[in-house]
Structure 1
Amino acid sequence: MDILSISFPSVFENTFGNTESSAKDLLNGLKIKKDEAWYIVGNLAKKGGISPYKITNASPAEEDFDVLFRSALINLTDKIEQPMALTVGFPFSTYNVYKNAAEQFLKKRHFMVEYDTKTFNTLGVIKRSMFDLDTYDVIPEIVGCIIGLKKLLNEKAPVNFMAISLGFGTIEGGMASEDGLIHRTCFSSHGIQYAIDNLNRELNKTHYLNMQNVHQLDDAMMKASIFVDRKKVDLKDVRKNILKQYYKQIITPLLRKFFSNQDFETCEKIYLMGGGAFYPELVDAFKEEFNDSIPVEIAPEPEKLASIGYLYNSLRISDRNYKRSVGLDIGNATTVISTFQSNVAQPLQSTSVEAGTLPIQ
């Protein structure tokens, strides 16, 4: 069964004036209306906005979640059958607080989205589409990552492993065993934004950054360069130092606090996932600490794993209806939507998950 995962940056901004012919397609030309205001979202906001933003770890009751949720929905047109089965998730640090709010949001079940297609089509118009929700679930992000990892690895998945998601807003971690998730080992703390904030402080000592926000600095961090006063500033050395300190000050204490010697003894592999897995400095730091005893690997599709795991959870709650299942990960840096793209259903691996428990097998 093929999986299609599409994504856009989790940023948006109020827009005024003309935005016609500013993108190549819907995904890159997201412009939606909420209440009486229009918003440009994702890549269109990054390119056409002044200071596109998203509140880190925003509640489902806030505008940020609503705008990004509706922007994700319009990308599902012609990809699924309705009413859909949907799964979303949150980091452990906010899961218990936000789960009820998310369920209240999804209980609406009917979502009308008004959007502008003139951003990518010269003959475009204002459209309104209705999306209907049948079943839904809200699960922890790390559980989604583990489900996604096990499904992608299939029979190659080890029995006992550590999953560490290096996200923008949070770092998530936990250990999976043959019996399920070991909750004692689960943690959630400061994500890559911690390092980006330090980058901001360091650059402000010598440069005027023209009020760039944390999401714009995130792009600079990833590219390891930034333009200031029309000159390119190399960030490789400062990025290396900042990420080294991030590992030492945030990650190392978490590993020592939540994982015992017995956990390390039984652990067959450490999988790194999330957008932070693309930073070689962080991967090298893990390998330097563990490679003598535990192999460290970047998980397949590291930035998509949560969404893929949510998708398989949606398949479970929809009685295995591939055509209606959706996994939606509204991340702090990126929103990822996953769907199945084949008409030929294949049997899933059997699980022993009881009703009401979190499936990670």
Structure 2
Amino acid sequence: MFKTKEFPSVFEASTAELVDVSNNLLTGLKINHNGSSYVVGELALLEGNTPHKGINNAPSDLDYRLLLRAALAVAKSGIEGPMCITTGFPSSTYGANRDAAKDLVEGAHTIDIDGRTFGKSPDVSIEVEVDQVEVIPEIEGFISGVRRGKLNERDPFFAVGLGYGTMEAALSLPSGIVQRTTTSASGLQYATKLMSDRLQQEHYLDMLTDHQLDMAMREGTIVIGRRKMDLTDLRQDVLSTYYEDVVSPTLKRAFDDSDFGRAEKMYVGGGGALFDELVDDFTDEFGDILSLKIVPDPASFISQGYALHAADVARRDRAVGLDIGNANTVINLFEEESV
């Protein structure tokens, strides 16, 4: 149903001449912007020194603008003609960023890239036209994926998205979201910071970025001083602390007993749903009262919901779901329907 493309949400300024270091645009993103050159995504992780990104950037920030341009260039390879894009922000920043994001995304874009990274010419210009833009809260994208995607859920349910920058939650009824229950809190960065603090008590981390630490936590190992360390026990500890300090109290404030009388299911997604440790914590707290379900493709699920939302506005062959996340930027297009 979906064609998913994603790259790490990191970038770094670079003046290096990078030739034939990648096989394609997605892994060889080198963007020219306002007179400077930046490696983005996988190429930044490979060739950069300290690839980085701020948390929950606004449309006015360089981080957001670079990742947007990179995402539009990647999306263009799968779309002919003008695009209809749905994207979003956490509930806590949605109101402040909605109009600025719409103004930034909508219209004509000329994206200049250095194609030498993947065997093309040094001056490649990609023309992108975006004629329709919808900006919605992230939790609405998540719920759209649950109700209108393959899950096709018709009953009331609790929705919890565990992103790197924020966790989002709400109660969804067939008639719509119960706005009283919509909430945002710190995301997995909370656990990553805890892990970094613990490691720094005994080790020099050599200026590792948040993204590199997040990758280490996902992989369960880290190399420090040329020695590979097992992070399994530490990961269990910091994720349990994150759940106890942030996730559980946030959900207790958002949902009251009457809400649990309305819904019997809870859908959990986002990158945090890939950690068995967090899933076990959800099961321990809610397993006796709710049916707990992990959405398919948790890390790209919100982008799928955005694409489904865009398909309500335009034909599917023009619809794009764009999630400029704090860990990864995810683009979802619709696969061509077979006859």
What interval of TM-score do these two structures reach, taking the shorter chain for normalisation? Answer: over 0.9
Shift of 1:316: 1.3
Aligned counterparts of 1:334 and 1:26: Cα–Cα separation in 2: 16
Aligned to 1:285: 281
Q: 1:138-177 CA deviation, whole Å, 9 max, x = no partner?
A: 000010011012222344x141111100000000011111
Instruction: Within 5 Å, give how 1:263-342 maps onto structure 2.
Output: 263-318=259-314, 321-342=315-336
Q: 1:12-43 CA deviation, whole Å, 9 max, x = no partner?
A: 00012221121122111111100111111101
Aligned to 1:199: 195
Assess if the C-alpha contact under 8 Å between 2:9 and 2:328 holds in 1.
Answer: yes
The one of 102, 126, 130 equivalent to 2:127 is: 130
- Aligned-residue Cα RMSD (Å) equals 1.3
Query: Is residue 217 of structure 2 the alignment partner of residue 221 of structure 1?
Result: yes
Assess if the C-alpha contact under 8 Å between 1:149 and 1:300 holds in 2.
Answer: no
Assess if the C-alpha contact under 8 Å between 2:273 and 2:294 holds in 1.
Answer: yes
Aligned to 1:23: 22
Shift of 1:344: 5.8
Letter in 2 for 1:24: N
Instruction: Within 5 Å, give how 1:85-100 maps onto structure 2.
Output: 85-100=84-99
Query: Is residue 41 of structure 2 the alignment partner of residue 42 of structure 1?
Result: yes
Report the secondary structure of 2:204's partner residue: coil
Q: 1:110-130 CA deviation, whole Å, 9 max, x = no partner?
A: 110001221122x54420011
Aligned to 1:237: 233
Aligned counterparts of 2:298 and 2:147: Cα–Cα separation in 1: 12
Report the secondary structure of 2:326's partner residue: coil
Query: Is residue 80 of structure 2 the alignment partner of residue 81 of structure 1?
Result: yes
Query: Is residue 174 of structure 2 the alignment partner of residue 175 of structure 1?
Result: no
Aligned counterparts of 1:158 and 1:130: Cα–Cα separation in 2: 40
Aligned counterparts of 2:336 and 2:230: Cα–Cα separation in 1: 45
Assess if the C-alpha contact under 8 Å between 2:304 and 2:321 holds in 1.
Answer: yes
Question: Which stretches of structure 1, 4 residues or longer, exceed 3 Å deviation after superposition?
Answer: none
Query: Is residue 101 of structure 2 the alignment partner of residue 102 of structure 1?
Result: yes
Aligned counterparts of 2:251 and 2:283: Cα–Cα separation in 1: 14
Shift of 1:101: 1.5
Aligned counterparts of 1:94 and 1:29: Cα–Cα separation in 2: 31
Report the secondary structure of 1:303's partner residue: helix
Aligned to 1:353: none
Report the secondary structure of 2:141's partner residue: helix
Aligned counterparts of 1:218 and 1:24: Cα–Cα separation in 2: 26
Letter in 2 for 1:129: I
Gaps of 5+ in 1: 346-361
Assess if the C-alpha contact under 8 Å between 1:91 and 1:172 holds in 2.
Answer: yes
Letter in 1 for 2:270: G
Report the identity percentage: 37
Gaps of 5+ in 2: none
Assess if the C-alpha contact under 8 Å between 2:164 and 2:187 holds in 1.
Answer: yes
Assess if the C-alpha contact under 8 Å between 1:15 and 1:39 holds in 2.
Answer: yes
Aligned to 2:158: 162
Aligned counterparts of 1:135 and 1:76: Cα–Cα separation in 2: 15
Aligned counterparts of 1:188 and 1:5: Cα–Cα separation in 2: 26
Aligned counterparts of 2:154 and 2:134: Cα–Cα separation in 1: 27
Report the secondary structure of 1:316's partner residue: coil
Letter in 2 for 1:104: D
Letter in 2 for 1:235: L
Shift of 1:343: 4.6
Aligned counterparts of 2:60 and 2:77: Cα–Cα separation in 1: 28
The one of 239, 245, 252 equivalent to 2:248 is: 252
Aligned to 1:3: 2
Normalised TM-score (structure 1) = 0.91
Aligned counterparts of 1:190 and 1:167: Cα–Cα separation in 2: 9
Aligned counterparts of 1:78 and 1:112: Cα–Cα separation in 2: 14
